Amino acid sequence: MSTVLPDSRSLLRRTLGERRIALVAWRLLVLQNSDPAVAAGLAHFSTYRAHPWRRVEHTMDSGQRLFFSDREGLQREIARLERTHRRIQGTDGQGRAFTALDPAVRVWVLVTLYESMTAMCELSGAPLSAGQCDLLYGEFRTVCAAFDLPEELFPATAAEVPAYMDRTIRERLEYTEAAHDLLFQMLRQAPSPRRLGRLRPAWPLLRPVIAHLMTALTVADLPPAFRQRFDLRRSRGAAALSWTLHHGMRHVMALLPDHLRYRTGATPPSATAHPTATPHSNPNTNANTGSNGNGKSPLGAVRALRLPRPRRSERRSARQARVEAFFRQVVDQTGDGFITAADLQAMAHNVCWQLELSEEEEARVYAGFDTWWQHIHATMDTDGDGRVSRAEFTTAVLAGVDRDPDYLHNGLHAALRALFRAADTDGSGYLTADEYRVLFGGSRVHPAELNHGFRQLDADGDGQITEDEFLRAFTDYFTARTDTTAGAQLLGRP
């Protein structure tokens, strides 16, 4: 097998990079999460219920890095995934041990991606020929070879993939809670996507319609063996919806210019946008850009730590409102109303996800968040059930900061120091405005608000934020009696 990675003109990149691949994305997630080991990992370590769009973004971003990078970028992404997955292990609800590093599980996740590309073409009325399938599968396996997984676990040829899918569906897959959530629950409860723009206020009205359509489309598009085994009925209306969307999008895409039809990395060389170098690249990544190899700045590496604005409508003090909002929107990553070690681990994961940290730096971030969890567990779990409710969190924080000046220092500050030092990519000891934007930026925050927040934290006005200023701002967030204090304005004006 060739060791040359597919280039931008390859069938793999053109198929995977075409924007209509989004039509089979939910189908792909259902198939992957029907594996009991994948579902157990989600149940114990994922925040997909509370943050479904972030989960989709991470999946798409990782796919971009794996299949649209050069060999160095591919190896970095594989190493990053392995460090992340090494922490995902345990025992599922039926007492079965699971690990995200199980080779058979990893092969299943990879092969479903190839199968989804062929399904996209088949569902659109333009199935790949046998020769095209062989070419696509060969290019796909070239990338998969970098994972160093046992060859015998993969279907040997493209022609053997359908039998592999049917066999795995019959012998291994289960109708897991995660699969059920993806099909029938998640979109009906999902928060507004960040990219919805001016339509976000209409999300409560759009959500049930979109959820119904996505359920119908996904059920209609799932492999017949999957529908048969788990008794999922494909109605005539769902079949008509699938035919209309897939055939319609194929014709629409054919009329679009390449820069609109394909994502970055899948267009012909003349139209491919090259990443722009930034002056604050991580010296430990051996990369010459701050874009992590995909032409984009890291999407708010601490999206999990964005400090929310308090609800003014609540009849309580501004400080209590901030603490409760912090619990809901920041610390309770799984969205189940409680904090456990998994929530803090998820926060650390989201900090590390885009920063291209070295293994040692990543370990320090996890250690900082683990210290915070140990403090939360020791000081807030009043009923001893191993988790912390919103009431326990709010009561403990308000009482703790009033009683003990070092209360935040002993817990939260350990995580914040790790966070600050991870974001300080040039090791200068302070955050510049650019590093601050990487840390807190994203489509939810207007640049003017980011600039305002930076100025509020930059207490001495020297154009940079020291670690002490950073910690003081978070301390003020929990201790300030009014919303006018700088710490209450970390993401802009209240």
On the question of pLDDT at 214 being above 70, the answer is yes
Could you give the CA distance from residue 117 to residue 123 in angstroms, rounded to a whole number? 10
Under a CB-based contact definition with an 8 Å cutoff, are residues 150 and 165 in contact?
A: no
Under a CB-based contact definition with an 8 Å cutoff, are residues 264 and 16 in contact?
A: no
Q: What is the pLDDT of residue 293?
A: 37
Give the list of residues 6+ apart from residue 406 with CB closer than 8 angstroms, or none. none
User: What is Dmax (Cα atoms) for the chain?
Assistant: 72
pTM for this prediction: 0.73
Q: What is the pLDDT of residues 411-451, one digit of tens each?
A: 999 999 998 998 898 889 998 888 877 776 654 455 666 67
Under a CB-based contact definition with an 8 Å cutoff, are residues 271 and 258 in contact?
A: yes
Q: In which residue are the tokens 């730096």 written?
A: 361
For the record, the structure tokens of 273 come out as: 């946008």
User: 427 or 494: which carries more pLDDT confidence?
Assistant: 427
Give the list of residues 6+ apart from residue 230 with CB closer than 8 angstroms, or none. 175
Under a CB-based contact definition with an 8 Å cutoff, are residues 21 and 88 in contact?
A: no
Lowest-pLDDT choice from 81-95, 207-221, 259-273, 299-313: 299-313
- pLDDT confidence of 213, banded at 50, 70, 90? very high
Lowest-pLDDT choice from 150-154, 227-231, 255-259, 456-460: 456-460
The DSSP call for residue 18 is: B
On the question of pLDDT at 294 being above 60, the answer is no
The DSSP call for residue 310 is: P
Under a CB-based contact definition with an 8 Å cutoff, are residues 365 and 348 in contact?
A: yes
- pLDDT confidence of 478, banded at 50, 70, 90? confident
Could you give the CA distance from residue 54 to residue 44 in angstroms, rounded to a whole number? 17
Lowest-pLDDT choice from 159-163, 360-364, 378-382, 479-483: 479-483
User: 381 or 200: which carries more pLDDT confidence?
Assistant: 381
On the question of pLDDT at 111 being above 80, the answer is yes
Under a CB-based contact definition with an 8 Å cutoff, are residues 19 and 262 in contact?
A: yes
Lowest-pLDDT choice from 85-99, 127-141, 269-283, 479-493: 269-283
Q: What is the pLDDT of residues 263-280, one digit of tens each?
A: 865 554 443 333 333 333
Q: What is the pLDDT of residues 366-417, one digit of tens each?
A: 999 999 999 999 999 999 999 999 999 999 999 999 999 889 998 999 999 9
Three-class SS of residue 442?
A: coil
Radius of gyration of the chain (CA): 24
Q: Which of 314-318, 327-331, 366-370 has the highest mean pLDDT?
A: 366-370
On the question of pLDDT at 459 being above 70, the answer is yes
DSSP per-residue letters across 258-309:
HHHHB-TTSS-GGGPPPPPP-TT--TTTT-S-SSTTTTS--S-TTGGGPPPP
On the question of pLDDT at 109 being above 50, the answer is yes
The runs of H, that is alpha helices, within 285-411 are 318-326, 341-353, 359-380, 390-403
Amino acid identity of residue 484, one-letter, is: T
On the question of pLDDT at 304 being above 50, the answer is no
